[in-house]
Amino acid sequence: MTSSYVTATSIDDAVAAMAGGARPVAGGTDLVVGARQGKAPLPESIVAVHRIEELHGIETMDGSMRFGALASHEAIAADATVRERLTALADASAIVGSHATRVQGTLGGNLMNASPAMEPGGPLLCFDAPVTLPGSSGCGGVAPRDFLAGPGQTTAHPDELLTAVDIPLQPAGTGSCYVRLEYRQQMEIAVVGATAAVTFDEGKVADARVAITALAPTIRRVPEAEEALVGTDGGRDAAEAAARAAAAAAEPISDVRASVEYRRAMAAVITRRAIEAAVRRAWGETVPVPASPAVHGGLS
């Protein structure tokens, strides 16, 4: 039962409330919906952060984009620069929950909830997007790989408010894609997901990043898959080698949605489809956003 609820209008107020034990709520689509579903009781003390102006907004700067913690999935998916230069993030944001979830749910809340199945996590890892958390450690940017610690766990201190995520715009010649295995296209979370970002130079893959979703305690990059792509033409053989490496690196669990065996088998399929679509985008072909429905139907 919540005994204290305050609304902060500045970052300092929110951090002060959190130092006093309050838990922040942004869109409430994890915190409040989870409490209603009986996953965890509402915290005793809550500070609402949705009126903090500085946490809103998506800004394109020289060479990077800054997403306020309150940027909604809907706004991110609709942003023209995201769709063009950070396409995997557009793919991921466009398939979070339902339209209502995307309008209400925020990037900051998604990251702090730290689900191993969260949609934007793979793209953020592949784009090496540091998160900013003013609070007890006074910390600037934390690399995403150092931030996600386990299912529902981050390395943030309880009084640290996530304020922004900065994502470097990807160099010319880059294509990226996030694909999830989904049993339906709305109100779904990833059964298995994969992100790929590939940068070509003179016809060869000069840089590759691959991350797997819902296949380990946290979303994680797979260096072996990335190595299998670099220096190749990014064709079918390379994509298959990288996909096998991703499946080998997976540590899936069995749950109500899929077995270990099915998840591992699908890890290779979904990773290959993400890589193939990222390569097509790098070559200037159109793969519509979100990629998931398109690639499951359109690529063999």
Ligand X SMILES: Cc1cc2nc3c(=O)[nH]c(=O)nc-3n(C[C@H](O)[C@H](O)[C@H](O)COP(=O)(O)OP(=O)(O)OC[C@H]3O[C@@H](n4cnc5c(N)ncnc54)[C@H](O)[C@@H]3O)c2cc1C
Site residues (vs ligand X, CB under 6 A): 23-31, 33, 49, 69, 96-97, 101, 104-106, 108-110, 112-113, 118-119, 161-162, 187-189
Q: What is the nearest approach in angstroms of ligand X to the Cβ of residue 76?
A: 10
Q: What is the nearest approach in angstroms of ligand X to the Cβ of residue 113?
A: 4
Structure tokens at 161: 């408010």
**Number of C-beta neighbours around residue 169 at 10 A:** 18
Q: What is the nearest approach in angstroms of ligand X to the Cβ of residue 227?
A: 28
Q: What is the nearest approach in angstroms of ligand X to the Cβ of residue 207?
A: 26
Q: Which is nearer to ligand X, 91 or 226 (CB)?
A: 91
The CB-nearest residue to ligand X is 109
Q: Which is nearer to ligand X, 11 or 279 (CB)?
A: 11
Q: Tell me how many degrees the CA angle 289-295-297 measures, rounded to the nearest 5.
A: 120
Q: What is the nearest approach in angstroms of ligand X to the Cβ of residue 180?
A: 8
Structure tokens at 243: 């996909």
Q: What is the nearest approach in angstroms of ligand X to the Cβ of residue 103?
A: 10
Q: Which is nearer to ligand X, 33 or 241 (CB)?
A: 33
Q: Which is nearer to ligand X, 186 or 248 (CB)?
A: 186
Q: Which is nearer to ligand X, 49 or 198 (CB)?
A: 49
Q: Which is nearer to ligand X, 163 or 199 (CB)?
A: 163
